[in-house]
Amino acid sequence: MPVSKFAGKAMTVLGPIEGQELGVTLPHEHLIMEHATANYNEPEDENDRVKAHQPVSLELLHWLSYHRSQNVDNLELLDEPEAIDEAMNFKKAGGGTIVDVTNIGIHRNPEALVRVSRATGLNIIMGSGHYLATSHPADMAARSEEEITEEIVRDVNTGVGESGIRAGIIGEIGCSWPLVDNEKKAMQAAARAQRLTGAPLNIHPGRRNNEAVLEILEILSNADADLSRTVISHIDIRVRDHKVRCQVAKAGCYLEYDCFGWSGPAPANLYKGTFISIPSDSGRAEEIRALIAEGYLDQILISHDVCHKYQRARYGGVGYDHISRYVMPLLVDAGLTEEQVNTITVENPKRMLCFI
């Protein structure tokens, strides 16, 4: 039975729309955000510390490929005209919808997203809930699970603060490895809010260990989350075992390959002492083809997760139109049919984003 007055519709920052209006959808991006508080790591090397406080430039791009979270400017996407110009590249490439999963604690800005949507003509869907513990409010430990749940429900049903601008997805809910107590509480609250609102749920799993995602599935199951409307993000950089990916899919979750355009190297500070093979886009295509062969076509999502300045086109990155212009043809070359590509880029996001 539907639990939401928005059942059957997707919630954009301009209001509810029919699912067929979404079109080609990027289900995991960031247009306006600041996550230095959450993710900045001061470099140990003296020369690196100098670069950490320089603006993003062509001269820094090689260094940033190894130190993407060790430069403050690289973690700030706060320029609205820039966001509009970059998002417009996606619109011109046939794009219809961008899901901005920026949420509480990393500079979510509902009014700015409304302005970007109106300027570009794109549907923009906004996130809710809490990101990593490093971005949680100072009183998070004192907040009850019920209070966090109520906060998310208000964002979805009424709007953020006094803005009246509603969130259309819960997430991305941040999880570290090992999982922090407040992150577990926030995730359980997000699962409760999902049941109360009929909204989809997006989870950012911890890195370094496949056990992270399996622990998340157990917690969500115990919290009675609707796993068939839950997205596990960062499959291509966090879940690097095909058998574990199949476990996630078998549980009912969406598998989100949301780092298209990034083929390594792994950031030195984030994966220090750990080997991780970040796939190329061709490698992602091969993994997706393997999941389709297992019967999981309807659970695959793809995006870029543009969350660092150097990922934007003007700074030498792939931007928001990389999937539309280059990855969709690549998937066909890899053996997918046009219909299967349409399922991944249009039908799956539509099903995931429409409330129940």
pLDDT in tens, 279-337: 999 999 999 999 999 999 999 999 999 999 999 999 999 999 999 999 999 999 999 99
How do 254-257 and 230-232 pair as beta strands?
parallel
Identify the sign of the CA torsion 268, 300, 19, 196.
Answer: negative
Which tokens sit at 172?
């991305």
Q: How confident is the model at residue 16 (pLDDT cuts 50, 70, 90)?
A: very high
Amino acid (one-letter) located at 244: V
40 pLDDT more than 80: yes
State the average pLDDT for the chain: 96
Q: Alpha helix locations (H) across the chain?
A: 36-39, 46-52, 61-66, 80-92, 110-120, 145-157, 181-197, 211-222, 235-238, 242-250, 281-293, 322, 328-333, 338-342, 348-353
User: What is the reported pLDDT for 114?
Assistant: 99
User: What is the reported pLDDT for 276?
Assistant: 78
User: What is the reported pLDDT for 273?
Assistant: 65
State the average pLDDT over residues 265-278.
Answer: 73
Quote the CATH superfamily of domain 9-353: Metal-dependent hydrolases (3.20.20.140)
User: What is the reported pLDDT for 209?
Assistant: 73
Percentage of the chain exceeding pLDDT 70 = 97
Closest CA to 32 of 71, 65, 73, 76: 76
The kind and range of the H/E element at 174 are: strand 170-174
State the average pLDDT over residues 177-194.
Answer: 97
Amino acid (one-letter) located at 2: P
Q: What is the DSSP letter of 21?
A: G
Confidence (pTM)? 0.97
2 pLDDT more than 60: no
